Chain A
């Protein structure tokens, strides 16, 4: 079946611009996660959606970061006024339920120039 998809696969933007990253989870998965991975670093948790519950935003690094999940499916991660330190691979994952096996999308490689 179809896995987690993300778009775009690569994004180059100028410092100060806003960007939107999209994630389409596996059908039927109620949990959706966003992570960030900088070069040579581990996964950094950003935000978690579970069904209709309020999202866990505890990992968002600043108020420039926000995310939505519409209709319990597709999610968008928005970064406003991008900074060079935002450059990283942004990974989305989904799972059947919280703390179960997560399946990752291929990621969006964001470069802020």
Chain B
């Protein structure tokens, strides 16, 4: 299993839709997980941190399944401004760095 693996998409959804992305990881000892958002030609920006079973912030919910080693990101009531690439991030085996997935592209249309 790759360290961090994501479905590249693209996910094309209409405004108002609910969309979910999954990410699998290989380091079973990981304790912290992150979702970043990257807009076209911009730097990645932290969207959400996950230290326990999950986290919720407004329309965004991240859930962690340690047994299956995957993290999900759920976006409710999608907005046009949610269009971006979403990066799943997990610490490496040594805990010395964060490993970034290649990202899942979301396109929200009106």
Q: Give Cα distance in the complex from A91 to B44, angstroms.
A: 9
Indicate if the CB atoms of B96 and A98 lie closer than 8 Å.
Answer: yes
- Report the nearest B residue to A100, measured CB to CB: B32
Q: Using a CB-CB cutoff of 8 Å, which residues 30-75 of chain A contact chain B?
A: 33, 35, 41-43, 45, 48, 50, 56
Q: Indicate whether A106 sits within 8 Å of B49 (C-beta atoms), given known contacts A42-B101, A43-B100.
A: no
Indicate if the CB atoms of A99 and B96 lie closer than 8 Å.
Answer: yes
- Report the nearest B residue to A6, measured CB to CB: B43
Size category of the A interface is 20 to 34
- Report the nearest A residue to B42, measured CB to CB: A106
Binding site for A on B (CB under 8 A): 32, 34, 42-46, 49, 87, 91, 95-103
24 interchain pairs, CB-CB under 8 A: A35-B100, A42-B87, A42-B103, A43-B44, A43-B87, A45-B97, A45-B99, A45-B100, A48-B97, A56-B97, A91-B43, A91-B44, A98-B95, A98-B96, A98-B97, A99-B95, A99-B96, A99-B98, A100-B32, A102-B46, A102-B98, A103-B46, A104-B45, A107-B43
